Structure 1
């Protein structure tokens, strides 16, 4: 069992320059707490930027030694790296895009180049420490390219990625010029985690539309492996906050604060300075509450903590100026000699003082405009050891999916937030207790340690699922075995599907005609073996494409047969078409509703194509049509089949497996090979005798003996046989 390597932009310590020396200050963040149980074990290690630029090689060497003792390894970034990669692309491009502030996105090519460069620096740092059997867990939006960079260098490594901020809808992702590279970078991971189902859904949609990778039940079918995408809501160290709230030190601090504030209801607001937190809107909602409820003047005040962040950036300076102005105006409008509406602090506080704020506040006002999770609301709930208190929470925070007993608000609804404040102040104690207890049970059950455990367990499950498929992969040994058996065979037969097997899929089905390489390959194969092209395509097309080739063709899933390149087609199955008009009229209705869809009529079936339909809409319409046809199929004894961007309806007794069995009847073949790529080919695989070789193109679960990557690999294999 290899070691675990945690990778994040920042290490769980900060490197401070003090009195001409560097010193380390541990981070109190939730991630550092949760992952502390991992990176401190055995040979495990955490890799990241130490939080300061260090130019001197001797100082770097000293820092490396000191960090090694702490189970960490640094990635040293220059001032330019920090400005362009971190402050630039990460926080001026990805941060606003992923939080839906599209007006703030900076499309700077130099920043993108720095982002690529620094991700490579992280990759190089990991490669110095990583062994092939290690588990590498990459964190957050600063390192989106890293999983794929690692995959290229360590193809068999266990790689996970977790995004701690939201993932936006396809409509936002498509705006980024580097969207494909970003998604491809993330898809280097085996497991990709988000806080919420919405984020997961947006990611899968973007991957489908931009990269053309299909997914089923949270699994992306990549070129040679499955990638699992799932939601894992992050928790907090519940006991840490609950114990701190009960501690004498915290209670003493809280008592001192309350004596200064007097007898009044306290609202608590704690945020880092950022436009995504919605601080000005929150202040305006509190202003409205005071305006509409003068009876609460002198009885309610807000403790507002804003932690400094990026205060050298002009847009953040403007944000702080707006907050200062709003707070100043409200306090000047409403303050009296013994009451101030907003106690405003632009600084960070020690843990015990924050804990005191949580414990003594009656209401927490957590109303970000968009947040991946937001742990402040969970910390507040965990600190309510007396079971009294009310949480007002934005619907736009990931935590709102779990904390349904909070008063949920739309942060853009000024009146709604103001009304929520009044509801919280007047809420009976019994209701407060019921809500707090319910939320505490949730937070306690799904704490940060459970989050880590569930994620790591899922990663092992995904790797096992990949191994189950990988054990069936066509590798050099399998090709060698096939070649030896084929060479010895006196009477070999090959059943080859066409679309998705011998050729890749095209936008227009008629464009998938065989190229010269394929024609030459088929010609070579026919000199040694019997070659059967077994396809769902119509007989006219297949007849034209393989004219002059000495191949057998089974067309339309087994309705028509042409022997050895002959002129005449033989009807291989009885045809009953009386059902077609009813079904076709339904399909035409769905064509009218779905731009890009069309119907293909075959002798025994009808096919609804949606390859050219907008991604998402095509899947939606296909599901609707599938349900509709399933209902109608019962009355006509028909079968509805889902293929690659097609939906086909036909008689169940007409399939490739039946046709292949009938074709082999009475013949003694000493080498049988069947290759296909979709569900219609599963019938062929099932019909094969025990000694046959069967191969499914793509990495789906299959009845075939083996999986192979792509039509390109199929051609390579068939060339090796000859």
Structure 2
């Protein structure tokens, strides 16, 4: 078995440069502001000014703290995390606390274990050179207009300084560290699958999570070699300016908000196109690395919205490789997705994959609708059908790793912190929330709902608190100010100095993972009020941390895990403060037996669906999808020739043939008019086939009974299936079946016709030149004569979506120039099955079945025949993606083979 190349925007590893060692040796060094910086997962935090906070640190005390070297960690004014988790610094009931002097951060050390939590180690790494002139530029290069000599000198000075930085990092010792940014849910899931031996031989592909343009080729090569040999990782390198445009602008300010229904109209208008090129270049760098490193038998697993173009880019270079794509964030409705200026390119990039996975059925459905309505691709319930291949689409939510979380819960630091917090908040009801400071996370809505709860329930005002952690993001300072004002108002209104009580404690500093789990463990309810979110694994971690208290979740209905925990959690609308307030009260007042029952439902879901099984299942499903699609690819299925079928056909004792020649062989300008020269040739061949006593031949057609009988009236003994399976005329009379038409549907199965007539008529009226054609068994929206082809195609796609998504007892089949709406449970395949079982009574001597067709309505019959215990040939007479196991280049080629078989 080959490797799995797991592509994620960041590797699970990064690099730490030990510049302090150079300084000890007397090496010329540069201050952090000009040459390097300390990189953290969360570089910034927010000050929450709260005069009432019993945890406040005075400005005088803060200013006396020993400054940290390089770039120090930011300590929020209202809360110092080291003090908060120090029991001796807090005394409930009017006591005071003496803040400790912040410790100097240390340089992080390498560790084979995952990052231990929300609080990040400190690494020394290069400063981004986005927007800086390249160090290898010639001295006489011109920057700006002539005559700007001062500017030229400044640029040259910067260039010289950057050259020194290259030499500085070249000479520094470096170590590989566990990464502090990236998709931690993915990292832990793959690690768990590897630990459980469900995933073997995987190789990570990603960026290092730091600026790399300052590094020389020699340093990059050495880092790449160490990562590949010791950590099974392939490092991708891009320019700092490309990464800035890709990640910080296109991903974070265009894709991320819109995927979560927060479209940034102003930023998109001015910056979407300007940053698109950077997004493309970074995706191309990933694709090039995959192609360069690919070994036969490898599979490629691409993750998340940062790399949506990679599947198509890899497919262009390697058409037969197995490619999977999993989207970890939410996917919006087609009406939101079509707001992207590059919507077509994004979707076609994704469709380079063999398998596309989403967190929920809702996100999957939105993607299928977007493909159908934006690029007019044919979409079924779980598949996108392209001209030459298809893509499987499914939903399977990521989960947590119970074994790893339990290991941290058993950690001594976690146990000590839990005991500390229990003493601190003894006899209090505790709501807990852990989020990033981002409007999408719904912190504002959570605080307003908690405020509503306190107003609605006076008895809880003095004995209930909300512990909210919120790590700062770079673009949320304005939002943070708004959150700060709400916190201040709640504490001013409901706080009580006499008992040193404040309803809201807001922690904006990073927490270690033990501290984070400790907060989850003491909660009486955990509130996640995100306005949109892919899955939110914090909910899983909360459930796993609550084995003692068995407290419950209050979860926004707009989060992926709401469907995951729907039987046990309180599912709420975060926009309804009253609904959230009621859920808070119910979570506190629910009786123990009901609480335990709800909790165990949530826990059982996690234990039966772990991170390890999620990663393994995606890998297995990807390989199966690729294998199945290879069989359907015309470049991999055989051509239907005499050599291919001859010996098997000649040796068969009894043969059953279902043939469809609609369209090309029989055409008519009016009733019973033949205009295609293949007709006479076809009748001659079919007559000889029917006259062979070993053959039973049925013609399957969309034509009505009268037309079908007229076309084949001169071939006695020919079986007929009319109106796409609604009627069967047996090939010969018997005791059970006279040679007359048999209706295969019940009256109620056609009850959809009246409502569907109105729907198709609506689309016909809005598409000048189109027509509604009633075939009796089916209805047709025909847009062949529409002048505006795009308008006809767009309305045809919308009609298909409207019919197939509403649960009617009918289905819409898109075909060239028209859409056919027919009964869902009646088809050529059901008629073929009826013929075999009811008319022929499954003869024991039947040893060959041949099914041939030339349009989309035959695909179900191909699937039916492929599953028969009898040997079967399935033949597609159209050169495109098909379920058939062989193909010919049109009807003439197929007729030529039949003619040879008759000789």
TM-score, structure 1 as length reference: 0.77
Matched-pair contact (CA < 8 Å) for 1:39–1:46: no
1:406 aligns with 2:569: yes
| Offset of residue 318 of structure 1 | 1.0
Counterpart of 1:592? Answer: 758
Where does 1:541-556 land on structure 2 (aligned, <5 Å)? 543=673, 546=676, 556=703
Give the aligned partner of residue 350 of structure 1: 512
SS at match of 1:281: helix
Q: C-alpha displacement at 1:471, in angstroms?
A: 8.2
1:52 to 210, 229, 235: 210
Alpha-carbon spacing, 1:110–1:132, altered in 2? closer, same or farther (3 Å): farther
Structure 2 CA distance for partners of 1:715 and 1:335, relative to 1, 3 Å: same
Alpha-carbon distance change, 560 to 656 in structure 1, aligned in 2, over 3 angstroms:
farther
Q: Tell me what 1:646 maps to.
A: 820
Measured after TM superposition, the shift of residue 206 of structure 1 is: 1.3
- Counterpart of 2:670 in structure 1 is 540
Which structure has the higher relative contact order (CA within 8 Å, separation 6+)?
Answer: 2
Within a 5 Å distance, the mapping from 1:72-471 to structure 2 comes to 72-103=233-264, 106-107=268-269, 108-309=272-473, 311=474, 313=475, 316-337=476-497, 338-403=500-565, 404-470=567-633
Whether the aligned pair in 2 keeps the contact of 1:676 and 1:696 (CA below 8 Å) is yes
Structure 1 residue 50: Cα displacement: 1.0
8 Å Cα contact 1:47/1:73 also seen in 2: yes
Write the deviation string for residues 101-126 of structure 1: whole angstroms up to 9, x where unpaired: 12456242121121111111110011
Evaluate the alpha carbon distance shift between residue 90 and residue 423 of structure 1 in structure 2; reply closer, same or farther with a 3 A threshold.
same
1:30 aligns to what?
Answer: 185
Distance 2:428 2:233 in 1: 47
Which aligned pairs between 1:485-524 and structure 2 lie closer than 5 A?
497=661, 499=663
Asked whether the 8 Å contact 2:437–2:470 carries over to 1, the reply is yes
In structure 2, relative to structure 1, the CA distance for the partners of 1:626 and 1:245 (3 Å cut) is closer
Are the counterparts in 2 of residues 272 and 307 from structure 1 also a CA contact under 8 Å? yes
Q: Which of residues 11, 14, 18 in structure 1 aligns to 2:124?
A: 18
Find 1:699's aligned residue among 870, 875, 881.
881
Aligned-residue Cα RMSD (Å) equals: 4.4
Contact persistence 2:5–2:204 (CA under 8 A): yes
| Distance in 2 between residues matched to 1:642 and 1:538, nearest whole Å | 22
- Which whole-Å CA distance do the structure 2 matches of 1:381 and 1:390 have between them? 8
CA distance in 2, matches of 1:496, 1:370: 49
Deviations 1:635-694 (A, max 9, x none): xxxxx99784214699999x999xxxxxxxxxxxxxx996512335988999xxx99994
1:529 maps to what in 2?
A: none
1:418 counterpart SS class: helix
Q: Is the 8 A contact 2:661 2:891 kept in 1?
A: no
Gaps of 5+ in 2: 16-38, 40-122, 126-168, 648-658, 684-698, 714-721, 723-728, 730-738, 765-770, 783-791, 834-849, 866-870, 898-903
Contact 2:763 2:799 (8 Å CA) reproduced: no
Distance 1:651 1:347 in 2: 63
Cα 1:187–1:259, aligned 2, differ >3 Å: closer, same or farther? Answer: same
**Is 2:21 the partner of 1:7?**
no
| Secondary structure in structure 1 of the residue aligned to 2:763 | coil
Please list the CA deviations of residues 549-572 of structure 1 after superposition, one character each: whole Å capped at 9, or x if unmatched.
987689947344499xxxxxxxx9
8 Å CA contact retained: 1:190, 1:226: yes
Distance 2:386 2:573 in 1: 38
Corresponding pairs, count:
635
TM-score (norm 2): 0.62
Counterpart for residue 687 of structure 2? none
Structure 1 residue 127: deviation in Å?
Answer: 1.1
Query: Once the 2 structures are TM-superposed, how far is the Cα of residue 618 of structure 1 from its aligned partner?
Result: 3.8
**Structure (1 or 2) with the larger CA radius of gyration:** 2
Structure 1 residues 16-37: Cα deviation after superposition (integer angstroms, max 9, x where no partner): 5528665544248221111125
Task: State the distance in 2 between where 1:366 and 1:701 align.
Answer: 45
1:508 aligned partner: none
Does the aligned pair in 1 maintain the 2:369–2:379 contact within 8 Å? no
In 2, are the aligned partners of 1:308 and 1:348 still within 8 Å (CA)?
no
